[in-house]
Amino acid sequence: MNLHVSSRDIGERTLDIVSGMKSLEGPLLPILHEIQAEFGYVPQECLPIIARELNLSRAEVHGVVTFYHDYRDHPAGRHVLKLCRAEACQSMGGDQLAERVKALLGIDFHQTTLDGAVTLEPVYCLGLCSAAPAAMLDGEVHGRLDADTVNDLVAEVRA
């Protein structure tokens, strides 16, 4: 993931990605996933290129990008911490844990710490309901969280 790419590079990479995937049936979501994996978000500059290559209107592409929670319109922090907010985690003290994490990081959900270290996001179920409360840090799953393990996670992203 390279966060310092010029618009021209973004255009070229986007075209590469779209060309490689446009033969898929229903290629738009796989393309957007790939673009986000490449740039860390879906840059605005990509949208007209995708629209042109897939013969869609720019509005249609914009509509899809903004519909799904996963696609970002700006880069996230170096780490992304997703806390499960759903019922099973609530039943095991997930809400109090979320408050603790917010206080430790000094940010709310959907925000990034000023040093760019971590973005905090809510997630509605990681399927770890039998190991609640649960979280995902950069794709790694963590269960049965408590005050201590949450401190460890926060220390990890702050390091």
Closest approach, Cβ 114 to another protein, in A, equals 26
Residues 23-52, one symbol each (x = binds another protein by CB under 8 A, - = not), give -xxxxxxx-xx-------------------
- Which of the stretches 5-13, 18-26, 73-81, 110-118 binds another protein when contact is defined by CB under 8 A? 18-26
Asked whether the beta carbons of 28 and 50 are under 8 A apart, the reply is: yes
Residues 6+ apart with CB under 8 A from 102: 108, 109, 120
Of 58-77, which residues contact another protein (CB under 8 A)? 60, 63-64, 67-71
Question: How far apart are alpha carbons 98 and 83 in whole angstroms?
Answer: 7
> What is the DSSP-derived secondary structure letter of residue 157?
H
Tokens of 41: 């978000």
- The crossing angle, in degrees rounded to 10, of helices 94-105 and 147-158 is 30
| Residue 137 within binding range of another protein, rule CB under 8 A | no
Figure out which of the listed residues 128, 150, 154, 157 binds another protein, where binding follows CB under 8 A. Answer: 128
| Residue 116 within binding range of another protein, rule CB under 8 A | no
Closest approach, Cβ 8 to another protein, in A, equals 26
Nearer to another protein, 77 or 94 (CB): 94
| Residue 125 within binding range of another protein, rule CB under 8 A | yes
Count CB-CB contacts under 10 A for residue 85.
Answer: 17
For the stretch 149-153, contacts whose Cβ atoms lie closer than 8 Å and that sit 24 or more positions apart, written own/partner, are: 150/97, 150/100, 150/101, 150/104, 151/104, 153/81, 153/101
| Residue 151 within binding range of another protein, rule CB under 8 A | no
Binding site for another protein (CB under 8 A): 24-30, 32-33, 54, 60, 63-64, 67-71, 86-92, 123-132, 134, 136, 139-144
